[in-house]
Amino acid sequence: MPIDFSSATWINPPKKFEITPDSVRITTDPHTDFWQRSFYGFRNDNAPALLLESAQNFTLTVRATFQYRGLFDQCGVIIYLDSENWFKASIEYENERFARLGSVVTNRGYSDWATTDIIPPGCMWYRLSRRGPDFLIEASPTGSNFAQMRVFHLHALGETTPEMGKLNPPAPAEKPVRFGLYACSPIDSSFEVLFDHLKLENCLWKAHTGD
């Protein structure tokens, strides 16, 4: 079902934004980013994110249309539990020849970064699904035929430990999760992104039964 982000809450609100019943428009501020420690050593936690909250399993779908201007400009979807436990997925600008479609999972204060190089587009669709402490992120350039980017786990939502040789049972969605939209410009840049086709529904990611 379509979702109105006017009831969502900001962390690090940008100076310029617009929220309507059908869309969210953000203009990034320079020197904003999310990253924790790994490889680079620095810790950045000042990017704007507009967040909903749910204790249920869900699927969030959104289209991001953007006009990148500088190195590392990025926008997409985010899960934000706290400064040391979060996830983001986006296209990160490199140059006119290629950009990096990727995702960052941050557990216990350390970020990873998984990417694939693509020709720089002007928009991308994202589909984020929750099943307990586990998540699926998918992307599509057209809004159909979504391709899996990665399956990941957020430790802060809890662990499930199976008996030897047995599968984990499907994990219940018990702890609230804050999730939504983000955009940032880690260096001296600023750009505008329009998020639309916003939809929140019951989880489309089917539970794994081992069959």
Tokens 């779908």 appear where? 61
Phi-psi domain of 22 (left: phi exceeds 0; alpha: psi -120 through 50; beta: other):
alpha
Phi-psi domain of 79 (left: phi exceeds 0; alpha: psi -120 through 50; beta: other):
beta
Q: Which amino acid is at 32?
A: T
Alpha carbon 5 to its chain centroid, in Å, reads: 15
Please state the domain extents for the chain: 5-201
Q: Which secondary structure element, helix H or strand E, spans residue 103, and what is its range?
A: strand 99-107
Task: Identify the residue with better confidence: 160 or 97.
Answer: 97
Q: What is the pLDDT of residue 167?
A: 46
Residues 6+ apart with CB under 8 A from 105: 87, 111, 112, 114, 150, 152, 154
- When pLDDT is cut at 50, 70 and 90, the band that residue 160 belongs to is low
* 12/31 Cα distance (integer angstroms): 12
Residue 150 has pLDDT above 70, yes or no: yes
* Percent of residues, the chain, with pLDDT higher than 70: 90
- The domain made up of 5-201 has a fold known as Jelly Rolls (2.60.120)
Whole-model pTM above 0.85? yes
Residues 186-202 have pLDDT tens digits of: 999 999 999 999 999 99
Phi-psi domain of 52 (left: phi exceeds 0; alpha: psi -120 through 50; beta: other):
beta
Residues 123-135 have pLDDT tens digits of: 999 999 999 999 9
